[in-house]
């Protein structure tokens, strides 16, 4: 028994060392080429999206039915990149930005269900939201032309990242139907990053996790002179009549979750087979 235990401990220790070596990944780095020269964000950890962005909501309901989801569409430009001591050069709307300014932008679609906790008459005053899925795209553009007033210019740059939004509790909103605030947290995965170093923006290293926190404001609870868009062109909407528009302020972090490589699992399996063979030999 002691001999077998030594073999087992040795096999597990060796497998653990192999796992550590195989799963080690360099910190993600984002390199962008601008009219001001090369900017290197090392490590790339996250993005602070403007607090003057908008979210447009359609099919708002409290059925809590994933087959009849609420759809939230989000467009924003970055004001800063975490771990990088510079701004993206975002103008107040993007239109008319000085020559040489650049931007990083996001387009996201979130599917949700909702449960109303309290009504005042026919108006839900306290509601919990649950994400059922969605996706996001992040772009780099040497021309800072994103226009929040009509929701255009957010997806005309180089696509540098795509991701999927995980299902789960998303957040809550409290209001009276005209005014209100909400806090939300969305987790997700990064399923693709641009790595072509011949382009104006690309990643080195790797990342596969995303976590975004956001606040939504409505009516008198909006800040900074926010104005609702009149159109939502990057989503193909000539106007947003009949839809709910909210001020949105988001921060998005990124990271890498170590997972065992297939080769590691195979070698671990061979180690356990060797252990099984050792046990058989001791029984003879």
Gap between the Cα atoms of 231 and 85, Å rounded: 33
Q: What are the sequence ranges of the domains in the chain?
A: 47-257
DSSP state of 150: T
pLDDT at 168 exceeding the cut of 90: yes
Orientation of helix 2-23 relative to helix 262-283, angle to 10°: 170
Residues 59-63 have a mean pLDDT of 94
Closest by CA position to 136, among listed 150, 154, 151, 153: 154
Tokens of 190: 């990064």
Distances (CA, A) of 10 to 5, 116, 271: 8, 56, 10
Predicted model pTM: 0.81
- What local confidence, expressed as pLDDT, does residue 280 receive? 40
Burial of 68 (0-12, 13-18, 19+ CB in 10 A): exposed
List the single range of 1-15, 24-38, 52-66 with lowest mean pLDDT.
Answer: 1-15
- What local confidence, expressed as pLDDT, does residue 82 receive? 64
- pLDDT tens column, 15-38: 343 333 344 556 799 999 988 788
Q: How confident is the model at residue 114 (pLDDT cuts 50, 70, 90)?
A: very high
pLDDT at 257 exceeding the cut of 60: yes
Residues 76-80 have a mean pLDDT of 89
Gap between the Cα atoms of 256 and 101, Å rounded: 30
The DSSP line for 124-187 is EEEEEEEEEEEEEEEEEESS---BTTTTBSSSSSEEEEEEEEPPEEEEEEEE-SSSEEEEEEEE
The H or E element containing residue 12 is helix 2-23
- For the four alpha carbons of 263, 269, 271 and 273, in that order, the dihedral sign comes to negative
In this structure, the number of other CB atoms found within 10 A of the CB of residue 263 comes to 10
Total residue length of the chain? 284
pLDDT at 178 exceeding the cut of 70: yes
């Amino acid at each position: 028994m002691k001999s077998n235990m030594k073999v087992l401990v040795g096999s597990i220790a060796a497998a653990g060392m192999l796992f550590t070596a195989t799963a080690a990944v360099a910190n993600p780095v984002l390199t962008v080429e601008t009219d001001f020269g090369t900017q290197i964000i090392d490590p790339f950890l996250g993005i602070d999206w403007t607090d003057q962005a908008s979210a447009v909501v359609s099919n708002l309901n409290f059925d809590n039915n994933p087959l009849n989801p609420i759809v939230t569409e989000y467009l924003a430009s970055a004001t800063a990149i975490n771990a990088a001591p510079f701004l993206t050069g975002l103008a107040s709307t993007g239109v008319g930005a000085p020559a040489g300014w650049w931007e990083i932008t996001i387009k996201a679609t979130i599917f949700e269900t909702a449960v109303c906790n309290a009504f005042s008459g026919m108006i839900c005053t306290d509601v919990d939201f649950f994400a059922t899925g969605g996706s996001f795209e992040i772009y780099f553009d040497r021309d800072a032309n994103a226009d929040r007033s009509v929701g255009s210019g957010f997806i005309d740059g180089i696509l540098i990242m795509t991701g999927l939004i995980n299902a789960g509790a998303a957040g809550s909103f409290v209001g009276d139907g005209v005014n209100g605030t909400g806090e939300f947290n969305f987790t997700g995965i990064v399923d693709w990053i641009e790595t072509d170093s011949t382009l104006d923006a690309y990643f080195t290293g790797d990342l596969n996790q995303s976590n975004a926190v956001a606040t939504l404001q409505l009516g008198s609870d909006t800040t900074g002179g926010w104005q609702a868009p009149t159109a939502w062109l990057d989503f193909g909407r000539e106007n947003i009549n009949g839809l709910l528009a909210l001020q949105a302020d988001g921060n998005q972090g990124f990271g890498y979750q170590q997972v065992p490589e297939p080769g590691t699992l195979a070698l671990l399996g061979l180690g356990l087979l060797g252990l099984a063979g050792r046990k058989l030999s001791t029984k003879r």
